[in-house]
Structure 1
Amino acid sequence: MNEQAIMHEPAVTPSSVGIRYGVITAFISIIFSLILYVTGLHTNKGLSYASMIIPIIGIVLAYNYFKKENGGFMSYGQGLGTGTIVTAVSGVLSGLFTYIYLKFVDPNVLEQIRNSSIEEMENKGMSDEQIEQAVSMTEKFTTPEMMLVMGLIGAVILGFFLSLIIAAIMKRSRPEFE
């Protein structure tokens, strides 16, 4: 192999960076979730939506690290792969934490979420029949097992779409002729 070809081998790969930053992102997400559960703020929709910032930061940090280790360059495909892996790893680890927490540590959280949803529907003026119908539908999806599955699927899909956008913004292709 000539010296020119060796210079273009990436110092790190999308999968190695994705796994590394996926674990870091999961750790931060788990700490944030734990704080919400312990303080009883897990029913606060605003804080729940704020948790969406964590994977965005994880993806951006992963891209910055990838570029730093690869001479400042990252193709769109490398970014898309890295970001998707970050969120998939983070989703698996965070999902497992949520499952364990809701199943074994504090199963009452699901009841609190249910009661908060009922109160919200009452405030919207929904009838008892409508509320009962909505509750029976949502109870099928609010078991720890379903929350794990839906969380994993959601993390991968959200991560893929976030990565599509963030990679397009942060990519820096290597010049064709060096």
Structure 2
Amino acid sequence: MEHTSTPAVTPASVGIRYGLLTGLVTVIYSFVLKAADLEQKPVMGFLTFGILIGGIVLAHKFYKQHNGGFMSYGQGLGIATVAGAVIGVLSGIFQYIYVNFIDAQYVQRTLETARAKMEADSNISEEQIDQAMQWTEKMMPTGPISIVWSILATAVFAFLLALIISAITKNTRPEFE
């Protein structure tokens, strides 16, 4: 008689699962911010980091629940990095579609807001503002390459967060078990 058992979850499968869930929440939240014109509020941006941190912590908890209560530091880093890449894919695709098809004036409004903030700072000359605006316009990702940058940036940021989170959530399996 053959013995079959359900395989333990893998860091990659948990990263993908929680990346999809967290990415969906992030996309919905981003859409609400854009629709309500609240995206430029710093407090609202910090909540995005809270969503990412919450997703990583929940992914670690899920992994430990399905792995006998254990998760190594490296597994925690892997889960978060995979989740970050998946979140980056979803966020990048959403941003690309939003900027190019839903709200074509988004980039222009963002640039105007940035200029107004710089003009309000009396320590910056008009020449410096013009130069900063030229660079800002060049750096605004609007093409398909923006999706790649989103994936890389979110994966790296999730990895950096996981350096701390994994140190807290890890529970290494004893060596002589």
Q: TM-score, normalised by structure 1?
A: 0.90
What letter is aligned with 2:150?
A: G
Equivalent residues in 2 for 1:58-77 (5 A)?
58-77=55-74
The aligned residue for residue 140 of structure 1 is 138
1:128 shift after superposition = 1.4
Identity of matched residues, %: 44
What letter is aligned with 1:90?
A: I
The aligned residue for residue 159 of structure 1 is 158
Give 5+ residue unaligned stretches, structure 2.
Answer: none
CA–CA separation in structure 1 for the residues paired with 2:64 and 2:153: 27
1:30 aligns with 2:24: no
Equivalent residues in 2 for 1:18-167 (5 A)?
18-125=15-122, 126-145=124-143, 147-167=146-166
Contact 1:141 1:147 in 2 (8 A): no
- SS of residue in 2 equivalent to 1:51: helix
Contact 1:17 1:66 in 2 (8 A): yes
Give a deviation string over 1:47-71, Cα, whole Å, max 9, x none: 1232111111110000000000011
1:22 shift after superposition = 0.2
- SS of residue in 1 equivalent to 2:39: helix
Contact 2:86 2:151 in 1 (8 A): no
1:147 shift after superposition = 4.0
**Superposition CA RMSD, Å:** 1.9
CA–CA separation in structure 2 for the residues paired with 1:143 and 1:78: 32
CA–CA separation in structure 1 for the residues paired with 2:157 and 2:61: 20
Aligned residues: 173
Q: TM-score, normalised by structure 2?
A: 0.91
4+ runs of 1 displaced by more than 2 Å? 145-153
What letter is aligned with 2:167?
A: A
CA–CA separation in structure 1 for the residues paired with 2:141 and 2:166: 34
Q: Which has the higher helix share?
A: 1
Contact 2:88 2:147 in 1 (8 A): no
- SS of residue in 2 equivalent to 1:31: helix
Deviates more, 1:147-156 or 1:71-80: 147-156
Give 5+ residue unaligned stretches, structure 1.
Answer: none
Contact 1:10 1:70 in 2 (8 A): no
CA–CA separation in structure 1 for the residues paired with 2:125 and 2:63: 53
